[in-house]
Chains A and B, each alone.
Chain A
Amino acid sequence: MKKFDKDRLILGFAGPVLALVVAVVLTTVVLLVSGSDPFEPYRIMFESASYVDVQVLIVNQAGTYYLAALAVAVGFRMNLFNIGVDGQYRLAAMMAALVGASVDLPGPLQIALIVIVAMLVGAFWSGIAGILKTTRGVSEVVSTIMLNSIATSLVAWLILPKNFGVQPAGSNNLTTGEIPESGWFPGLSMGAEAGEIYGFTFVAAACGLIYWFVLGRTRFGFDLRATGASETAAQASGVDAKKMILTSMLISGAVAGLAGMPTLLGDTHTYSLDFPTGIGFTGITIALLGRNNPLGIAFSALLIAFLDKASASLDQYGYEKEIATIMQGLIVISVVVSYELVRRYGIRRQQQKVGAELAAGGALTTEARPQNDQTEKEGAAL
């Protein structure tokens, strides 16, 4: 059994590592073809990432990405593709900022209120897709994409000065007004040069632990993964599949709502026209790369954040910073391909093993049980 675990671990790592290697090789080819130095950009990026202020940026960004990716991963485990994380995140951040700016409660209460509003709004927005899926069978892929557009228009309308928005005197920006200081989430200062790590980044890490515990260690998590693996089988064993779909959609949306909190509570304290966008889509990449595993997602969030932030200084040295964007795109493609390759290799290897054990006879009755367990788990995980 122990040996089998090691194999699984190696196979688990083989996918992402293979994907990264392929992506780096292809990016290098792109650099060569475009006639620039193929290695210098990497050196600049690593050098840039060795500075403490860039590191703080990376960690902060990774926190946001981590939450967005967890939101996507909850859906993935349930075989639901929530593309609407971006819309849920934006609408939730905006509504939370609005509520936060219009009430003034003592510190922790104010923060709790803002966070709860964000989760509720995110859950509400994804819940629409969930209800459409369970009652009318509408594909969540289609409905969440459309809800993204609707969220854009809704936010644009809500933030107009004649509705709830504020246009500060002399500014061409629209904001939701500033959240009073009691609603600012304290950060961890890394020194004057470096800036501070948003306090909410640690909440994001805690969410990862909760995700791991709920999905891996509770009845609910088992039901969710089982439904994701096979809806009919889960239903046959007494799981209410529709309820599970709606619940996981709601959870996914609520976590998506949290994704805006590091920036909102730690930095801007208001939602304005230039609030970061596209977080939800990056989250999909990260969840894919991290194989929906809380640890894997953490590392991929750091990796993507590193590519984002470390590439920012490239154009100062005459390189296109889009190199990092190309690399992220290549990672997504190679992840899909390499996971499939590794999966097939894994199955073949397992078959060979079982064959060898069968041929050896004897130990079969004692060894086969746990192995079957493992296979099932792996099936559910994929």
Chain B
Amino acid sequence: MRRITRIATVGVASAALALTATACGNKSSSDAGSDSKEAGAAIAYDIGGRGDQSFNDAAYAGLAKAETDLKIKGSAAEPSEGESDADKVQRLTELARSGNNPVIGVGFAYAPAIKKVAPKFPKTTFGIIDDSSVTGKNIANMVFNEEQGSYLAGVAAAKVTKSKTVGFIGGVETPLIKKFEAGFAQGVKETDPSVKVLSQYLTQPPNFDGFSKPDLGKAAAQGQLDKKADVVYAAAGLAGSGSIEATAQAGKWAIGVDSDQYSQKGLAAYKDQILTSVTKDVADSVYNLIKSVKDGTPQTGEVRYGLDKDGVGLADSNPAYTKMADVVAAVEKAKKDIVDGKITVKTTP
């Protein structure tokens, strides 16, 4: 008797499990949204989301600029930690179905999802930042020559260092961040071969703490300062603010990344020691794509942002930096050489 009831319960429950998906109607989440929201542009954030003072915030800045300049409605969606491709597909589908055009995936992790979603919405333009592996008529791949900007940072670091030791801190050891390291190291070596480059990564994927935990950046920077580094370049998202803090407190030079970190409010206390920042104009790339869609000539295929188009570059908002005439001159020369093709910057260390 007991046995039978137990088996029956198990059976009923598994049937219920199987039915949950079918039982509750055939609506899909996107049907509901289609009328309620007006069309606009949408971005789907990378890990970290809004407030990372870096990559995602830059994308948001582009969207915000488009909202005011182009009078469009912007929407944004955040990812959850450790989510799967299916969640990303769901997010992009929802954004596209509710009439947003373009829909932009911030970060290479969106590539498999865009590959699946883009063909279903041929009239919507999909943008993806940092990836050119998925292609399609309605896909714009916005990629950057991070190594070129980092090369210039290397030139500046090699010129400024007195201890002949400079440091590089990478957030998470991914191919993308290795481009930063490669460019920086090459820039240092080709400016002054006697300068030593200390290189360190905060975490290994799938642990993405190295992009989000400032204490990790701080500890790593302290380690490099102890080894006599007097310029520290951190390409580590929010974790980089920790290394800027440590470097600035020690009275050494910090080099920021992605945005011009000299003018960031959160880092105002340390800005005098932020020599410069390697900028990556994610904001403009987002804005340009939205504008192109609005103008009726949507971007498609690879849209490369290099030194030539100021898609990457070196910030010069710190007066202490612009005063160093020889450093600025060396950087300008290197920039010209890269644009002219006289210097080719490596993308892997």
Tell whether, in the assembled complex, residue A50 and residue B25 are in contact, meaning their CB atoms are under 8 Å apart.
yes
Whether A156 is near chain B, meaning CB under 8 Å from some CB there, is: yes
Whether A361 is near chain B, meaning CB under 8 Å from some CB there, is: no
**Among the listed stretches A11-19, A24-32, A186-194, A352-360, which one makes contact with chain B, having 4 or more residues with CB under 8 Å of it?**
A186-194
Tell whether, in the assembled complex, residue B109 and residue A274 are in contact, meaning their CB atoms are under 8 Å apart.
yes
1/0 contact trace for A192-218 toward B, CB 8 Å? 011101000010010011001000000
Whether B245 is near chain A, meaning CB under 8 Å from some CB there, is: no
Tell whether, in the assembled complex, residue B90 and residue A57 are in contact, meaning their CB atoms are under 8 Å apart.
yes
A residues 233-283 with Cβ under 8 Å of B? 263, 267-268, 272-279
Tell whether, in the assembled complex, residue A275 and residue B27 are in contact, meaning their CB atoms are under 8 Å apart.
no
Q: With A53-B30, A273-B205 in contact, do A190 and B21 touch (Cβ < 8 Å)?
A: yes
A94's nearest neighbour on chain B, judged by CB, is: B206
Q: Which of B10, B13, B24, B109 contacts A52 (CB 8 A)?
A: B24
* Distance of B37 from chain A, by nearest CB (Å): 9
* Distance of B257 from chain A, by nearest CB (Å): 16
Tell whether, in the assembled complex, residue A197 and residue B21 are in contact, meaning their CB atoms are under 8 Å apart.
yes
A216's nearest neighbour on chain B, judged by CB, is: B6
* Distance of A307 from chain B, by nearest CB (Å): 11
Q: Which of A54, A152, A169, A316 contacts B90 (CB 8 A)?
A: A54
C-alpha gap A278/B31 in the complex (Å): 31
A54's nearest neighbour on chain B, judged by CB, is: B29
Whether B325 is near chain A, meaning CB under 8 Å from some CB there, is: no
Residues of B within 8 A of A140 (CB): none
A residues 212-235 with Cβ under 8 Å of B? 212
Q: Which of B24, B173, B176 contacts A55 (CB 8 A)?
A: B24
Residues of A within 8 A of B32 (CB): 47, 51
Size of A's binding interface in residues, CB under 8 A: 65
Q: With A190-B22, A295-B13 in contact, do A152 and B30 touch (Cβ < 8 Å)?
A: no
Residues of B within 8 A of A272 (CB): 112
A-B contact count (CB 8 A): 160
* Distance of A47 from chain B, by nearest CB (Å): 8
* Distance of A231 from chain B, by nearest CB (Å): 28
* Distance of A30 from chain B, by nearest CB (Å): 18
* Distance of B29 from chain A, by nearest CB (Å): 4
Main DSSP-derived SS at the A contact region: helix
Q: Which of B14, B85, B91, B175 contacts A172 (CB 8 A)?
A: B175
B residues 217-264 with Cβ under 8 Å of A? none
Q: Which of A47, A193, A194, A268 contacts B112 (CB 8 A)?
A: A268
Best-buried of A51, A159, A168, A308 by chain B (most CB within 10 Å) = A51
Whether A102 is near chain B, meaning CB under 8 Å from some CB there, is: no
Whether A312 is near chain B, meaning CB under 8 Å from some CB there, is: yes
Tell whether, in the assembled complex, residue B29 and residue A295 are in contact, meaning their CB atoms are under 8 Å apart.
no
Whether A60 is near chain B, meaning CB under 8 Å from some CB there, is: yes
C-alpha gap A57/B28 in the complex (Å): 11
1/0 contact trace for B109-141 toward A, CB 8 Å? 101100000000000000000111100000001
Residues of A within 8 A of B173 (CB): 156
Whether A298 is near chain B, meaning CB under 8 Å from some CB there, is: yes
1/0 contact trace for B75-119 toward A, CB 8 Å? 111101111111101110110000000000000110110000000
C-alpha gap A294/B143 in the complex (Å): 48
Residues of A within 8 A of B21 (CB): 52, 55-56, 59, 190, 194, 197
Whether A77 is near chain B, meaning CB under 8 Å from some CB there, is: no
A202's nearest neighbour on chain B, judged by CB, is: B18
C-alpha gap A274/B108 in the complex (Å): 9
Binding site for B on A (CB under 8 A): 5, 47-48, 50-61, 90, 152-153, 155-157, 159, 161, 167-174, 190-191, 193-195, 197, 202, 205, 208-209, 212, 263, 267-268, 272-279, 294-295, 298-299, 302, 308-309, 312-313, 315-316, 321
Binding site for A on B (CB under 8 A): 2, 9-10, 13-14, 17-18, 20-22, 24-32, 75-78, 80-87, 89-91, 93-94, 108-109, 111-112, 130-133, 141, 143, 173-176, 204-207, 302
- A-B pairs, top 6 by smallest CB distance, nearest first, are A156-B204, A170-B132, A171-B133, A51-B29, A278-B82, A172-B108
